[in-house]
Amino acid sequence: MTLRHRFGIMLVTLLGVGPLMVSSGMAADGGALYRGKCAMCHGPAGAGRPGTFPPLAGRVGLLVGNSDGKAYLAAVLLNGLHGPITVEGQSYKGYMPSFRALSDDDIAAVLAYAASLGSGGTSAGISAQDVAPMRGTPLDVTAVQAKRAALQASHVIP
């Protein structure tokens, strides 16, 4: 191998590793993620659209205060959710896509941002450690719905 080759490989290695190191040092921006990936359906302030997209404002905040609630939120983001569901007496039969392509950090950050929205908003934490255990076991829609029904039955969410 010539010296020039070796230098070329070194340069490729440096260029490849550089951006990775930079991005792992940056905290995920939940607000930017929300505006880019959620606001088009749930609205910029999380108000939703009655009968089509359920409101998140004041509701995600209730869920992050509860360990089963956090697991449910992670399950929705990782697996998606299809109706029918009832939210504050209104029925929805929509389709929420899966965001499994996002990292655990990004999912936690976007959920923390959603939890801060609305009058019932909270800064209660949700972290990558709450998301990671849910990634290993993909859930079908019936299983995600069952988690939701349990939270409604125990009045964590109305």
Enumerate binding residues for ligand HEC (CB under 6 A).
37-38, 40-42, 53-54, 56, 59-60, 73, 76, 81-83, 85, 87, 92-97, 99, 110-111, 114, 148
Q: Least distance from C-beta 9 to ligand HEC, angstroms?
A: 39
Q: Least distance from C-beta 145 to ligand HEC, angstroms?
A: 8
For 45-115, list the strands marked E by DSSP: 81-82, 85-87, 90-92, 95-96
Q: Least distance from C-beta 3 to ligand HEC, angstroms?
A: 49
Report the alpha-carbon distance of residue 118 to residue 104 in Å, rounded.
24
Between the alpha carbon of residue 99 and those of residues 5, 68, 106, the distances in Å are: 41, 19, 10
Of all residues in the shown chain, the one whose CB is closest to ligand HEC is: 94
Q: Of 114 and 131, which CB lies nearer to ligand HEC in the complex structure?
A: 114
Q: Of 13 and 98, which CB lies nearer to ligand HEC in the complex structure?
A: 98
Token representation of residue 75: 């399950």
Q: Least distance from C-beta 49 to ligand HEC, angstroms?
A: 9
Between the alpha carbon of residue 69 and those of residues 19, 32, 59, 74, the distances in Å are: 35, 23, 10, 9
